Structure 1
Amino acid sequence: MEKPQGPHPVRLYVYDLSRGLARRLSPVMLGKVRKPFLHTSIVVFEEEFFYGGGGITSCVPGGTMLGEPDTVVDLGNTEVTEEIFLEYLSSLGESGFSGVAYNLFDHNCNTFSNEVAQFLTGKKIPSYITELPSEVLSTPFGQVLRPILDSVQIQPPGGNNFNRHNGPS
């Protein structure tokens, strides 16, 4: 059965990886209330796409071990076809979003979501998400934690690694 042509809704799924702990501890750590450990993904074409230490991955929306997102942000619609989108994801996986390129602060799921959102809708994801790493690192606590956190790779369990030959595997 052929999938309907656009426009296709594009949503940003936002997960609090600390399950509220970071929000409670952030006044002590950062001097203000924040959720510094956010994971994001893009939902389009009835699939959730995200990036982590395993590269680009997809699953049914809400299908990772993280469960349902804490927040869903409507990013608008896209006229990009699924075929073009999957080709785009393949090129991203080959050019800069492989698992080995992952870095918790500088090249992470939020970087991926922001880039994909711009490709699909021309819009960026909310700045409170993209600015979190620099905000955390600008604090004395962030500077102390950086050497430890630089070795952390986040890859929510559940989902399939993206395969350039046939889309999600």
Structure 2
Amino acid sequence: MEGSTLSSNCATSGTYEGYVDRELFLNIYDLTPMNAYSIWFGFGIFHTGIEVYGMEYGFGAHDYSISGVFEVEPRSCPGFIYRCSISLGHLSMSASEFREFIETMASDYHGDTYHLISKNCNHFTDDICQRLTGRRIPGWVNRLAKLGSLFSCLLPDSLEATTVKQMPEYHTYDDDDDDDGSDSGSNASSQDASQSDEVDQKVLLSPTPAPEIAFIKGISR
């Protein structure tokens, strides 16, 4: 049965000595407890994030035309039920190179462009996976979007948006090899204050307390 295949493929892979930080994981979460039953029929509603270098990166919805890409402690994304992780291979880029990559990605994934069917968190992780490894995430992870494109009128209203439940407050990344870190940090602080004014101190979609989330500030090449 297909559901059995999904369960067997969804297993945490071990790390290899010397590659612990560079191993790329797809972390999979249940959006609903009903997945425990529906997955046996080859169907489920999932959120995914990419884990590498000790952090997890995801994409969520909010109401503003700024980055919806965020980072959080691995396997602890708020609002979802962690299911498992799948190893996607290993990176050949350094932590600072990956940081530049994810900031560039963030410029293409604004919170107000999130769409359950055409541009959701699984599209984001699939895009990252293709760019970094040349492979796609397992097709069953985003099957909802494929079915939803045909039967969107049947989707419950509660699934029309995925929120990260926190204000879009950017995290400043400091490269240890950057001699100008203090100046860039100062500029980032000013820009962060400007962004805070833009969103007018509004909570995204829910004030529910959650594990700390830091948004990634997008950059363009």
Q: TM class, shorter-chain normalised?
A: 0.7 to 0.9
**Aligned pairs for 1:11-160 within 5 A:** 11-19=25-33, 21-22=34-35, 24=37, 33-54=41-62, 55-66=68-79, 69-94=82-107, 96-138=108-150, 142-146=151-155, 148=157, 151-155=160-164, 157-158=210-211, 159-160=213-214
Please, what TM-score do these two structures have when normalized by structure 2? 0.59
- Which amino acid letter does the alignment assign opposite residue 25 of structure 2? R
**Equivalent pair of 1:10/1:75 in contact (CA under 8 Å):** yes
Amino acid at match of 1:155: V
Q: Percent of pairs identical after alignment?
A: 22
Please tell me whether Structure 1 or Structure 2 has the larger radius of gyration of its CA atoms. Answer: 2
- Cα RMSD (Å) of the superposition? 3.0
Residue pair 2:76, 2:82 contacting (<8 A) in 1 also: no
TM-score, normalising length: structure 1: 0.75
Match of 2:215 in 1: 161
Aligned partners of 2:51 and 2:57 also within 8 Å: yes
Aligned residue type for 1:162:
I
* Partner SS state of residue 49, structure 1: strand
> Alignment partner of 2:82: what SS?
coil
Q: Which piece of structure 1 moves more, 150-159 or 33-42?
A: 150-159
Higher relative contact order (CA 8 A, sep 6+): 1
Where in structure 2 are there 5+ consecutive unaligned residues? Answer: 1-17, 63-67, 166-209
SS of 1:36 mapped into structure 2: coil
Structure 1 gap segments, 5+ residues each: none
Larger mean CA deviation between 64-73 and 54-63 belongs to 64-73
Question: 2:206 matched to which residue of 1?
Answer: none
Distance 1:74 1:5 in 2: 12
In 1, the alpha carbon distance for the partners of 2:115 and 2:87 equals 26
8 Å Cα contact 2:24-2:88 kept in structure 1: yes
- Taking structure 1 as reference, are residues 7 and 120 closer, same or farther at Cα in structure 2, changes over 3 Å only? farther
